A and B are shown apart, each in its own frame.
Chain A
Amino acid sequence: MSPSVRLQEMIRVIRGARTQGEERGVIQRECAAIRAQFRQADNGTRSHNLAKLLYVHMLGYPAHFGQMECVRLIASPRYNEKRVGYLGAMMLLDEKQDASLLITNSIKNDLSHNSQYVQSLALCTLACMGSAEMCRDLAPEIDRLLRASNSYIKKKAALCAVHIVRKVPDLGELFTPAARSLLCEKNHGVLHGAVVLITELCERNPDTLEQFRKVVPELVQIMKGLVMSGYSPEHNVAGISDPFLQVRILRLLRILGRNNDTASDAMNDLLAQVATNTDSSKTAGSAVLYETVLTVMDIKSESGLRVLAVNILGRFLLNNDRNIRYISMTSLQKIVQTDHNAVQRHRGTIVDCLKDQDASVKRRALELSLALVSAVNIRSLMKELLLFLSSCPPELRAHTTSGIFNAAERYAPSQRWHIDTILHVLTTAGGDVRDETVPNLIQLITTATELHCYTVHKLYRALITDISVQSLVQVACWCIGEYGDLLLRGECEETEPVQVTEDDVLDALETVLQSHMSSPATRGFALTATMKLSTRITHNVDRIRSIVSIYGSCIDVELQQRAVEYNALFKKYDHMRYRGSVCGAPSPSLEVCDLLDLLGGSGEPVPSSGLSHTVPGPATSTSGGDLLDLLGGLDAVERGSVKVYEKNGVTLKLQTDSQTDTGMTITLTATNSTDGDITSLTLQAAVPKSVQLQMKAPSGDVIPARGLGLVTQTVLLNNPNKVSLKMRVRVCYSSQGAVCQDTVQIDSFPSPAW
Chain B
Amino acid sequence: MRFLLLFSRQGKLRLQKWFTPIPEREKKKIVRDMTTMVLARKPRSCNFLHWKDLKIVYKRYASLYFCCGLDAEENELIALEMLHRYVELLDKYFGNVCELDIIFNFEKAYFILDEFLLGGEIQETSKQVVSRAIEASDMLQEVRCCPVGTDLRSVFPSS
Contact B125 A87, beta carbon cutoff 8 Å = no
A11 vs B103: C-alpha distance in the bound complex, in angstroms? 8
Is A361 located at the chain interface by the 8 A CB criterion?
yes
In the complex with contacts A11-B104, A360-B46, A87-B111 CB distance below 8 A: yes
In the complex with contacts A152-B159, A156-B123, A235-B126, A114-B152 CB distance below 8 A: yes
A290 vs B55: C-alpha distance in the bound complex, in angstroms? 16
Contacting B126 at CB < 8 Å: which of A58, A189, A359? A189
A287 vs B82: C-alpha distance in the bound complex, in angstroms? 11
Contacting A152 at CB < 8 Å: which of B141, B151, B158? B158
In the complex with contacts A11-B104, A79-B140, A87-B107, A283-B80 CB distance below 8 A: yes
Contact B45 A162, beta carbon cutoff 8 Å = no
In the complex with contacts A96-B21, A193-B123, A291-B159 CB distance below 8 A: no
Q: Which stretch, A237-245, A573-581, A699-707, touches the partner chain B?
A: A237-245
B28 surroundings in chain A (CB, below 8 A) = 60
Is B91 located at the chain interface by the 8 A CB criterion?
no
Is B62 located at the chain interface by the 8 A CB criterion?
no
In the complex with contacts A11-B104, A163-B119, A193-B123, A116-B78 CB distance below 8 A: no
A60 vs B31: C-alpha distance in the bound complex, in angstroms? 11
Q: For residue B79, which residue of chain A has the nearest CB?
A: A287
B129 surroundings in chain A (CB, below 8 A) = 189, 234
Mask: chain B, 142-159; 1 = CB below 8 Å from A; 0 = not = 011111111111001011
Q: For residue A54, which residue of chain B has the nearest CB?
A: B107
Is A476 located at the chain interface by the 8 A CB criterion?
no
Contact A323 B158, beta carbon cutoff 8 Å = no
A196 vs B1: C-alpha distance in the bound complex, in angstroms? 13
Is A101 located at the chain interface by the 8 A CB criterion?
no
Is A159 located at the chain interface by the 8 A CB criterion?
yes
Contacting A87 at CB < 8 Å: which of B110, B136, B143? B110
Contact A115 B153, beta carbon cutoff 8 Å = yes
- Interface size grouping (class) on chain B: 35 or more
Is A117 located at the chain interface by the 8 A CB criterion?
yes
Chain A residue total in the interface (Cβ 8 A): 71
Contact B123 A327, beta carbon cutoff 8 Å = no
A242 vs B82: C-alpha distance in the bound complex, in angstroms? 12
B137 surroundings in chain A (CB, below 8 A) = 83, 117, 120
A78 vs B143: C-alpha distance in the bound complex, in angstroms? 9
Contacting A291 at CB < 8 Å: which of B42, B78, B115, B136? B78
Q: Quote the shortest CB–CB distance from B63 to chain A (angstroms).
A: 14
Q: Which stretch, A122-130, A463-471, A521-529, A623-631, touches the partner chain B?
A: A122-130
B114 surroundings in chain A (CB, below 8 A) = 87, 124
Q: Quote the shortest CB–CB distance from B138 to chain A (angstroms).
A: 10
A123 vs B133: C-alpha distance in the bound complex, in angstroms? 15
A613 surroundings in chain B (CB, below 8 A) = none
Q: Quote the shortest CB–CB distance from B93 to chain A (angstroms).
A: 15
A189 surroundings in chain B (CB, below 8 A) = 123-126, 129
Q: Quote the shortest CB–CB distance from B98 to chain A (angstroms).
A: 15
Contact B125 A116, beta carbon cutoff 8 Å = no
Contact B123 A155, beta carbon cutoff 8 Å = yes
B76 surroundings in chain A (CB, below 8 A) = 323, 327
In the complex with contacts A162-B121, A247-B75, A358-B45, A188-B144 CB distance below 8 A: no
B interface secondary structure, majority: mixed
Is B97 located at the chain interface by the 8 A CB criterion?
no
Q: For residue A359, which residue of chain B has the nearest CB?
A: B45
Q: Quote the shortest CB–CB distance from A140 to chain B (angstroms).
A: 19
A291 vs B103: C-alpha distance in the bound complex, in angstroms? 36
A12 vs B104: C-alpha distance in the bound complex, in angstroms? 8
In the complex with contacts A60-B28, A155-B124, A357-B151 CB distance below 8 A: no
Mask: chain B, 35-66; 1 = CB below 8 Å from A; 0 = not = 00000001011111100000000000000000
Q: Quote the shortest CB–CB distance from A600 to chain B (angstroms).
A: 57
Q: For residue B82, which residue of chain A has the nearest CB?
A: A244
A411 vs B81: C-alpha distance in the bound complex, in angstroms? 44
Is A77 located at the chain interface by the 8 A CB criterion?
yes
The B101-135 residues at the A interface (CB cut-off 8 A) are 103-104, 106-107, 110-111, 114-115, 118-119, 121-129, 133
Q: Quote the shortest CB–CB distance from B118 to chain A (angstroms).
A: 4
A58 surroundings in chain B (CB, below 8 A) = 13-16, 106
The B78-98 residues at the A interface (CB cut-off 8 A) are 78, 80-82, 85
Q: Quote the shortest CB–CB distance from A263 to chain B (angstroms).
A: 18
B81 surroundings in chain A (CB, below 8 A) = 237, 243-244, 283-284, 287
Q: For residue A58, which residue of chain B has the nearest CB?
A: B13
B14 surroundings in chain A (CB, below 8 A) = 58
In the complex with contacts A60-B28, A247-B78, A290-B77, A156-B118 CB distance below 8 A: yes
A501 vs B47: C-alpha distance in the bound complex, in angstroms? 59
Contact B158 A116, beta carbon cutoff 8 Å = yes
A237 surroundings in chain B (CB, below 8 A) = 81, 85
Mask: chain A, 17-60; 1 = CB below 8 Å from B; 0 = not = 00000000000000000000000000000000001001100111
Is A80 located at the chain interface by the 8 A CB criterion?
yes
B47 surroundings in chain A (CB, below 8 A) = 323
A83 surroundings in chain B (CB, below 8 A) = 111, 137, 141
In the complex with contacts A79-B140, A247-B75, A360-B48 CB distance below 8 A: yes
Contact A323 B48, beta carbon cutoff 8 Å = yes
In the complex with contacts A114-B152, A117-B152, A283-B77 CB distance below 8 A: yes
A266 vs B37: C-alpha distance in the bound complex, in angstroms? 44
For B78, B81, B158, which residue has the most chain A Cβ atoms within 10 angstroms?
A: B78
Mask: chain A, 341-368; 1 = CB below 8 Å from B; 0 = not = 0000000000000000111110000000
In the complex with contacts A237-B81, A283-B80, A79-B146 CB distance below 8 A: yes
Q: Quote the shortest CB–CB distance from B64 to chain A (angstroms).
A: 14
Contact A192 B140, beta carbon cutoff 8 Å = no
Contacting B46 at CB < 8 Å: which of A116, A155, A193, A322? A322
A358 surroundings in chain B (CB, below 8 A) = 42, 44-46
Q: For residue B115, which residue of chain A has the nearest CB?
A: A120
12 further A-B contacts with Cβ under 8 Å, apart from A77-B148, A79-B143, A326-B46, are: A114-B149, A114-B152, A115-B153, A128-B118, A188-B125, A189-B123, A189-B129, A193-B123, A287-B77, A326-B48, A327-B76, A357-B44
- Interface residues, chain A, CB within 8 Å of chain B? 8, 11-12, 15, 51, 54-55, 58-60, 77-80, 83-84, 87, 94-96, 114-117, 120, 123-124, 127-129, 150-152, 155-156, 159-160, 162-163, 188-189, 192-193, 196, 234-235, 237, 242-245, 247, 251, 283-284, 286-287, 290-291, 294, 322-327, 357-361
- Interface residues, chain B, CB within 8 Å of chain A? 13-16, 19, 21-23, 28, 42, 44-49, 73, 75-78, 80-82, 85, 103-104, 106-107, 110-111, 114-115, 118-119, 121-129, 133, 136-137, 140-141, 143-153, 156, 158-159
Across the A-B interface, the 6 shortest Cβ-Cβ residue pairs: A287-B77, A127-B119, A115-B152, A322-B46, A159-B118, A287-B78
Can you show 5 pairs from A to B with CB atoms below 8 A apart? Answer: A96-B21, A163-B119, A244-B122, A322-B46, A361-B46
